């Protein structure tokens, strides 16, 4: 098992709420008067997790790029799920199965934002290619605002094979691209579904696109030709929820 430092109030709060058995230690900035930070310190102590006050310089060093807001937690990272778990995940979710496939999202802020939207939408699992994804770094966790602990993350050794596995499990694949006439809002998004998003700049790779049952676009009457992948992900997920009657 590997360990990492989770930095920031929301990510630490999410880890303590959803996965406290993997939190090994909590460090809080000396002299902090933030009531939310104090609440996290109290919660950690109630859970019998070692908690200490430390100089800000130490938190800065351990948090790295991530903004820690006066609190960090040492966290045991669970191994990512593999392709073999997809049929069971699809079967358990049944007609409500909703997968998010991210084909090469490499920006940590984008991946974190996608995980946050996925958690808010109750996604069954997020699938990423093992060799073309950024992983659950501290920056990703901060951008996910706790969502990284709520949604299963599947690291697919072979993304095309993982997509075939989903199709064999009865899941329809809908890819998002800007060069098609089919509107996302006219696409049937009910039933077992996987929404497939391309990476920054390149979009979906050829084999990924060919695996999709349908390809749709988000209509944009304005002057911009494309949206940030995390914004497009949120729009697509919540359109699926709207059609399923899951959003009010």
* One CATH from 3.40.50.720, 3.40.50.10260, 3.40.1280.10, 3.90.1300.10 for 83-244: 3.40.1280.10
Instruction: Enumerate the β-bridge partners of residue 175.
Output: 196, 215
Tens digits of per-residue pLDDT, 2-38?
788 888 898 888 889 888 988 999 999 998 899 999 9
Domain boundaries in the chain? Answer: 2-77, 83-244
Instruction: Show the tokens assigned to 190.
Output: 């009910």
Q: How confident is the model at residue 52 (pLDDT cuts 50, 70, 90)?
A: very high
pLDDT of amino acid 98 = 96
**Is the model's pLDDT at 100 over the cut of 90?**
yes
pLDDT of amino acid 248 = 46
List the binding residues. Answer: 198, 218, 227
Tens digits of per-residue pLDDT, 192-227?
999 999 877 778 888 999 999 999 999 887 655 677
Q: Which residues of 140-158 are buried (b: 16+ CB within 10 A; e: fewer)?
A: bbbbbbbbbbbbbbbbbee
List the binding residues for S-adenosyl-L-methionine. Answer: 198, 218, 227
Q: Could you tell me how many residues make up the chain?
A: 248
Question: Domain 2-77 - what CATH class?
Answer: alpha beta
The pTM of the full predicted model, rounded to 2 decimals, is 0.77
pLDDT of amino acid 152 = 84
Higher pLDDT, 130 or 163: 163
Range scoring the smallest mean pLDDT among 59-73, 128-142, 165-179: 128-142
Cα dihedral 7, 9, 15, 18, rounded to 10, equals -160
Q: Which residues of 97-133 are buried (b: 16+ CB within 10 A; e: fewer)?
A: bbbbbbbbbbbbebbbbbbbbbbbbebbbbbbbbeeb
């Amino acid at each position: 098992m590997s360990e990492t430092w989770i930095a920031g109030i929301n990510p630490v709060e999410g880890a303590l709420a959803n996965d406290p058995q993997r939190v090994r230690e909590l460090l809080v900035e000396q002299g902090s008067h933030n009531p939310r930070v104090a609440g996290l310190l109290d919660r950690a102590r109630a859970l019998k997790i070692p908690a200490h006050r430390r100089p800000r310089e130490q938190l800065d060093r351990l948090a790295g790029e991530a903004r820690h807001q006066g609190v960090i937690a040492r966290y045991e990272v669970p191994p990512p799920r593999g392709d073999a778990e997809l049929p069971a995940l699809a079967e358990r979710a049944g007609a409500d199965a909703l997968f998010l496939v991210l084909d090469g999202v490499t920006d940590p802020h984008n991946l974190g934002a996608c995980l946050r939207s996925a958690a808010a939408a109750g996604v069954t699992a997020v699938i990423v290619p093992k060799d073309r994804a950024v992983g659950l770094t501290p920056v990703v966790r901060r951008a996910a605002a706790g969502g990284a602990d709520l949604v299963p993350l599947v690291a697919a050794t072979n993304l095309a094979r993982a997509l075939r596995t989903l199709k064999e499990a009865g899941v329809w694949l809908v890819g998002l691209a800007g060069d098609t006439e089919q509107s996302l809002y006219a696409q049937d998004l009910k039933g077992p579904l996987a929404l497939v998003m391309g990476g920054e700049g390149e979009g979906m790779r050829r084999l990924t696109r060919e695996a999709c049952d349908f390809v749709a676009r988000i209509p944009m009457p304005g002057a911009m030709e494309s949206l940030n992948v995390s914004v497009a992900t949120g729009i697509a997920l919540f359109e699926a929820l709207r059609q399923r009657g899951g959003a009010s």
